[in-house]
């Protein structure tokens, strides 16, 4: 069956969603469980209701929109992603997966196709982890990776809790956040890297994801006056942080395929004429091989201890989150590859450098992912971009893998 999606309608929906929580440079700002995030969810609900979907909301705020099949008792085919964004996020990261799945249902309606299995769209809560760490929170509780009661206590920088914000925004549903039988889960996403664009390839057939860790590092020194404390008398945690961050780059570069990022750096007190008494920073490390990733983090910990000894500092080194390397389901991978081939789209196998809700769901259900190119490989930035043609190609592939899984 060579039916296709309505690419123009999907693009228009993406642009309409981007009007909610607009960024300063054309992107999006809808942090998890903020009013802007809820406004985006409400718009999706409106569109999905118009497409004939019914809804359920679980105790983590994960939202499921269901199109019934011939066999209502059969495990559904599920597709989706997230609507929350980074503080200076783009218009496509996550949103494409949700609205691409909605376009699949709209297109099935247009063509009068009745699937054997139900088809569901899911909007996962707090995939980004930008407001409430860790990332992939809603899908992580769903997959049994995180404990819901513990996750409820997590706070944003203003001290607001996950549970409190779920209640305030009326996103704390009645359905328990736990796994249920899923025939297959598919997620459409921009690549968030430069490979597909550089190779002029339309579709990335995602075979798996690399492992990643998040670490909080706190260096404790001695605050003092910037003008009266000689350099050789200082216990300056900023100097220690500068050394660690610079040498982290060398640790990572020794391991081909590894990446390391310091995304937050905070001094206390933050004053131009004071030596800070404390410096806090985050480290994100990733690699496709778990043993190599473990070695990178061991080298980092040893580096922190060594620098602190030399600089007269104390430190706290807290591994707050880790995700293992993973392989997606072979049958789901084959369906994505076969759909791209049958539709005439160029494609290649690719490993995801980023974490996704699909990585969590992969633990409890057969899972596959579809990548499309993004301009200059940029993501987690307002300059994130792709084209209507690339979006349509990805949605077409998603439509065909959903049909392949739901119509037998």
Tokens of 362: 């992969």
Pick the last residue of a domain from 289, 323, 357.
Answer: 323
Do 92 and 195 share a structural domain? yes
Do 376 and 314 share a structural domain? no
How far apart, in whole angstroms, are the C-alpha atoms of residue 131 and residue 378?
21
Tokens of 181: 């039988």
Do 142 and 172 share a structural domain? yes
The answer to the question of residue 2 being in a domain is no
Report the alpha-carbon angle 30-210-183, nearest 5: 75
pLDDT at 404: 97
The answer to the question of residue 367 being in a domain is yes
Tokens of 119: 């088809």
The answer to the question of residue 291 being in a domain is yes
pLDDT at 1: 56
**How many domains would you assign to the chain?**
2
Do 192 and 115 share a structural domain? yes
Can you spell out the DSSP letters for 114-130?
A: --SS-EEEEEES-SS-S
Comparing C-alpha atoms, which of 157, 191, 139, 235 is closest to residue 369? Answer: 191
How far apart, in whole angstroms, are the C-alpha atoms of residue 346 and residue 203?
6
Q: 324-355: string of b/e by CB count within 10 Å (b at 16+)? A: ebbebeeebbebbbebbeebebebeebbbbbb
Pick the last residue of a domain from 284, 303, 323.
Answer: 323
Do 371 and 224 share a structural domain? no
pLDDT tens-digit readout, 181-196: 999 999 999 999 999 9
Do 155 and 68 share a structural domain? yes
Tokens of 300: 């980092």
Do 131 and 265 share a structural domain? no
Cβ distance 98 to 123 under 8 Å? yes
Do 288 and 373 share a structural domain? no
Q: Could you state, in chain order, the average pLDDT of each consecutive group of 10 residues for the chain (408 residues)? A: 91 98 95 98 98 98 98 97 97 98 98 98 97 96 97 97 98 98 98 96 96 96 97 97 98 96 96 97 95 97 98 97 91 98 97 93 98 95 96 98 94
The answer to the question of residue 179 being in a domain is yes
The answer to the question of residue 1 being in a domain is no
Could you tell me the CATH number of the domain that includes residue 219? 3.30.70.360
- Which secondary structure element, helix H or strand E, spans residue 219, and what is its range? strand 211-220
Does the model's pTM come out above 0.75? yes
Pick the last residue of a domain from 296, 323, 350.
Answer: 323
pLDDT tens-digit readout, 21-68: 999 999 999 999 999 999 999 999 999 999 999 999 999 999 999 999
Q: 226-256: string of b/e by CB count within 10 Å (b at 16+)? A: eeebeeeebbbbbbbbebbeebbeebbeebe
The answer to the question of residue 156 being in a domain is yes
Do 191 and 333 share a structural domain? yes
pLDDT at 408: 77
Write out the residue range of the structural domain in which residue 157 sits.
7-210+325-406
Do 171 and 156 share a structural domain? yes
Q: How many CB atoms lie within 10 A of CB 25?
A: 9
């Amino acid at each position: 069956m060579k039916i296709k999606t309505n690419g123009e309608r999907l693009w228009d929906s993406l642009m309409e969603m981007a009007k909610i929580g607009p960024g300063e440079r054309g992107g999006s700002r809808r942090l998890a469980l903020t009013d802007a995030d809820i406004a985006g969810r409400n718009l999706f609900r409106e569109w999905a209701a118009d497409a004939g979907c019914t809804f359920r909301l679980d105790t983590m705020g994960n939202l499921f929109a269901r199109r019934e099949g011939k066999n209502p008792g059969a495990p559904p085919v599920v597709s989706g992603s997230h609507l929350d964004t980074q503080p200076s996020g783009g218009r496509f990261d996550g949103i494409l997966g949700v609205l691409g799945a909605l376009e699949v249902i709209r297109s099935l309606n247009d063509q009068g196709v009745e699937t054997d299995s139900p088809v569901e769209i899911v909007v996962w809560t707090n995939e980004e982890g930008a407001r409430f760490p860790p990332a992939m929170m809603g899908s992580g509780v769903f997959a049994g990776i995180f404990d819901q009661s513990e996750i409820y206590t997590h706070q944003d920088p203003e001290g607001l809790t996950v549970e409190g914000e779920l209640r305030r925004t009326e996103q704390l549903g009645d359905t328990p956040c736990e796994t249920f039988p899923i025939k297959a889960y598919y997620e459409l996403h921009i690549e968030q890297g430069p490979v597909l664009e550089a190779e002029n390839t339309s579709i990335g057939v995602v075979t798996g994801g690399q492992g990643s860790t998040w670490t909080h590092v706190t260096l404790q020194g001695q605050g003092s006056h910037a003008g009266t404390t000689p350099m050789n008398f200082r216990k300056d945690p900023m100097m220690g942080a500068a050394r660690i961050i610079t040498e982290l780059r060398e640790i990572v570069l020794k391991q081909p395929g590894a990446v390391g990022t310091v995304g937050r750096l905070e001094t206390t007190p933050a004053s131009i004429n004071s030596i800070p008494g404390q410096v806090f920073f985050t480290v994100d490390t990733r690699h496709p091989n778990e043993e190599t990733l473990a070695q990178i983090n061991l080298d980092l910990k040893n580096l922190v201890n060594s620098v602190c000894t030399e600089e007269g500092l104390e430190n706290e080194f807290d591994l707050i989150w880790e995700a293992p390397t993973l392989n997606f389901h072979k049958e789901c991978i084959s369906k994505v590859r076969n759909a791209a081939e049958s539709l005439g789209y160029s494609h290649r196998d690719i490993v995801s450098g980023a974490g996704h809700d699909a990585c969590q769901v992969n633990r409890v259900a057969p899972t596959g992912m579809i990548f499309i190119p993004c301009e200059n490989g940029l993501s987690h930035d307002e300059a994130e971009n792709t084209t209507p043609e690339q979006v349509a190609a990805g949605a077409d592939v998603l439509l065909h893998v959903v049909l392949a899984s739901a119509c037998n």
